[in-house]
Amino acid sequence: MAQIEAMKPEQMAKVIISSLIEANVTAADITKFVNEVKPYGFASLAVDLPFIDITVELLKDVSTHVTTVASYPLGGMTKDVKVKQVEYARDHGAYDIDVSMNYLAIKSGDFGTVEEEVRQIMNAASDLKIVMIPQVTVLTNDEKAKTCEALLKGGCKDIKTASGFGWKTEVEDVVFIKRLFGDDIHIEVSGGVRTHQDAIAMLNAGAERIHTSTAFQVMGMDKTLAYQKKE
Amino acid sequence: MTIDRKTFAKTIDHTYLKIHRSDAEIKRICFEAEKYGFASVAIFPVAVPLAASLLKDTGVAVCAALGFHLGAYPPEIKAFETEDAIAKGATEVDLVMNVAAAKAKDWDLLKREFELFRKAAGDKIAKIILETCLLTDDEKIKACELAKEIGLDFVKTSTGYKKGATIPDVKLMHETVAPQLKVKAAGGIRTLEDALAMIEAGASRLGTSSGVALIETYDRRFG
């Protein structure tokens, strides 16, 4: 595959997902954030469940999607609760939802439980795109492979490698998953993609979308987002 | 201050809220909680069935950590999450409150969340987590007053994923809710000095992953 060396900001924007997800983020913060980034043509903006409605409304005249999250970022909620969150996102018009997986089951080698969770979430999704988060940062290569197999068996082809919040993705993680699964799994990268070159390396490794909290830097622009995580 | 060993052990919610270990870790903390007589094991809902089966008839509570760790979703889903955890074996529930509602001064939303939480928890011990490091003192007091009004059982300082409990916060929360409600301090409690200072400040429970070290230090010092 031809290797990209650089991308124009407007090209890069089309694969960027920017987010404003923190415990203390209010509707007023979301409004300022969305209005700030709306002109740049990002692939999607990620917000927590209560803010889907206003984000959909603010983005109604542009192509940028609305992403939300379930059991994020720790994955400790039961599959029944994750299904409730997926149903809420579906009914409120989100385009996709990033779902943290059952890491306890993964680390315990219980991939039947992992697969069943994915299947129930897929069954609840309808038109909502499901993106599962394997959290590669805490997995061995064997666990990454078995988790991706369980995802495919459960009917999901889309992953976001890690959740951010300190959990990082290495280029090697993307290479490893692409080598085993090729185009069967679509990869979004999250966690540690800070610069334009970080993003280019991930895309060259086979990632399709980039989650980042430094979107303008990743686009190669000399400015920073005014509305970042507030902690 | 003096506190007897059994009472001290019963202040500890023995906590594993990380994502890098297997069921073996849950088994370990359940074994330790029973051995040392801790109040509970505090774990994610996915670990509740295993812990409930291991701790049946031991007097150690199974405490489900709900809303972790951002707490940013609708009260109806949190109520469902509470009922679901209890149905699967939780005997105590710690829920992260909607911090953003407090920041936006949407006290009606926060009140509805607390009401639905209380109803869903039924007669189980219900602790609401304020995540005090994100709140002003006024917001902490308001959340505590709401928790008292609704009749929750505990106000808890922190998830442990951000800055943890401070002595001034525990004092402030205790002054606001006592004697009707109790205070749980969590996050950053690693030494016996930390633990005793939190109890002195008004905490009745301590959320910590250092429970075994705390009790062993207690034994060396007072045993």
Q: Which domains does chain B have, with CATH numbers?
A: 5-222 (3.20.20.70)
Give me the residue from B46, B73, B162 closest to A78, CB to CB. Answer: B46
pLDDT class of A229 with cuts at 50, 70, 90: low
Instruction: Name the residue type at position A55.
Output: T
The residues, any chain, with a CB within 8 Å of residue B56's CB and separated by 6 or more, are: none
- Note whether residue A224 is domain-resident: no
Mean pLDDT, residues A56-76: 98
Mean pLDDT, residues B7-34: 98
Tokens for A213, please give them.
């909290």
Does the pLDDT at position A230 exceed 80? no
- Note whether residue A4 is domain-resident: no
Q: Decide the pairing of beta strands B12-16 and B203-208.
A: parallel
pLDDT given for residue B1 in this prediction: 63
The boundaries of the domain holding residue A62 are: 9-218
Q: What is the dihedral of CA B37, B38, B39, B45, to 10 degrees?
A: -120
Q: Does A49 touch chain B (CB under 8 A)?
A: yes
The interface predicted TM-score (ipTM) is 0.97
Flag the least confident range among A6-10, A20-24, A221-225, B79-83: A221-225
Q: Does A48 touch chain B (CB under 8 A)?
A: yes
Mean pLDDT, residues A146-167: 97
- Note whether residue A93 is domain-resident: yes
Q: Closest Cα of chain B to A58: distance in Å?
A: 19
In whole angstroms, what is the distance from residue B14 CA to residue B33 CA?
7
Q: Does A104 touch chain B (CB under 8 A)?
A: yes
Does the pLDDT at position B9 exceed 80? yes
Q: What angle do CA B113, B118, B122 make, to 5 degrees?
A: 145
Give me the residue from B20, B65, B103 closest to A138, CB to CB. Answer: B20
pLDDT class of B101 with cuts at 50, 70, 90: very high
Tokens for A178, please give them.
């692409």
The residues, any chain, with a CB within 8 Å of residue B81's CB and separated by 6 or more, are: A77, A78, A81, A84, B45, B66, B67, B95
Q: Closest Cα of chain A to B159: distance in Å?
A: 11
- Of all residues in chain B, the percent with pLDDT exceeding 70 is 100
Mean pLDDT, residues B15-19: 97
- Of all residues in chain A, the percent with pLDDT exceeding 90 is 94
- Catalytically active residues of B, by annotation: 94, 156, 184
- pTM, full prediction: 0.97
The residues, any chain, with a CB within 8 Å of residue A197's CB and separated by 6 or more, are: none
pLDDT class of A1 with cuts at 50, 70, 90: low
pLDDT given for residue A231 in this prediction: 47
Instruction: Name the residue type at position A85.
Output: Q
CATH number at residue A145: 3.20.20.70
Residue B169: enclosing H or E segment and its boundaries? helix B167-177
**Exposure of B43 in the CB half-sphere (CA atoms within 13 A):** 34
pLDDT class of A182 with cuts at 50, 70, 90: very high
Does the pLDDT at position A36 exceed 80? yes
Does the pLDDT at position A228 exceed 80? no
- Of all residues in chain B, the percent with pLDDT exceeding 90 is 99
Mean pLDDT, residues B26-40: 98
- Note whether residue A1 is domain-resident: no
Mean pLDDT, residues B149-175: 98
- Note whether residue A67 is domain-resident: yes
The residues, any chain, with a CB within 8 Å of residue B93's CB and separated by 6 or more, are: B63, B64, B66, B82, B85, B86, B117, B121, B124, B125, B126, B127
B53 φ, ψ (degrees, to nearest 5):
-70, -35
Interfacial B residues in 164-183 facing A (CB < 8 Å): none
Helix, strand, coil content of chain A in percent (nearest 5): 45, 15, 40
Q: How far is CA B75 from CA A79, B114, B176, B223, in A?
A: 18, 8, 24, 46
In whole angstroms, what is the distance from residue B61 CA to residue A225 CA?
45
Give me the residue from B84, B96, B104 closest to A81, CB to CB. Answer: B84
Report chain B's mean pLDDT, rounded to a whole number: 98
- Our count of domains for chain A comes to 1
Mean pLDDT, residues B102-110: 98
Helices B75-87 & B107-121 angle (0-180, nearest 10): 20
